[in-house]
Amino acid sequence: MVDVVDLVNKTPGTKSVHILFFTDQSDQSDPTDQKDLKVKKINVVGLGNILFGDEGFGVEAVRALEASATWPENIRFVDGGTQGIYLLDYFESCDALMVFDSIIPVEYEAKVYLYRNDELPAFIHRKMSAHQMGLSELLAVARLHGRFPGDVVLIGAPPYDLGLGNGLSELMLSHLARAVGIGSEIVQKWLEG
């Protein structure tokens, strides 16, 4: 759909401006196609750098979850890597957000951690450089914009080996299966409403 707005400039000797606004109609589908889902749009984002061993946990987890089943079209799987601020739209454009990441929790026990909504720790500042926006900042900006998802889940595990080019350690591979299982259960509950 195209809306035309005329901005009339009343200054003598200047011209009026016509501005075209294009309205995205893709989200105006028949609600019955969604099968009455309470959570209409789900984004699953994997964070991390696969070049640094266990730092790639989040990316590998999102890939494994996507490959584990045939998912409906209202779920978007995102290899977020280390894109920082460029991920903001994925954080703001959904009803439910799941983030997989390699994290260092306060408890620091080698296991899979699950945080939801207000349980999300404020200390999560995993950055690859001083110029990159971290997970905490992305969530804060989404909240500031008034576009914070209705449900946010963080699933992660502490890294064991951050060696260049090592891939995931055996310990993280065992955590990967558990994290994907937890993620799958949560997504299924979101889909069931």
Give the CATH number, domain containing residue 108: 3.40.50.1450
**158 occurs within a structural domain:** yes
- State both tokens at 44: 């699953």
- State both tokens at 9: 């400039």
- State both tokens at 21: 């606004």
**Sequential pLDDT tens for the chain (193 residues):** 433 333 344 444 544 443 333 334 444 443 333 344 467 999 999 999 999 999 999 999 999 999 999 999 999 999 999 898 899 999 999 999 999 999 877 667 899 999 999 888 665 544 444 434 688 889 889 999 999 999 999 999 999 999 998 899 999 999 999 999 999 999 999 999 8
Q: Say how many domains are in the chain.
A: 1
**28 occurs within a structural domain:** no
**96 occurs within a structural domain:** yes
Q: Which residues contact 102 (CB under 8 A, 6 or more apart)?
A: 47, 48, 54, 55, 56, 57, 58, 126, 156, 157, 158, 159, 172
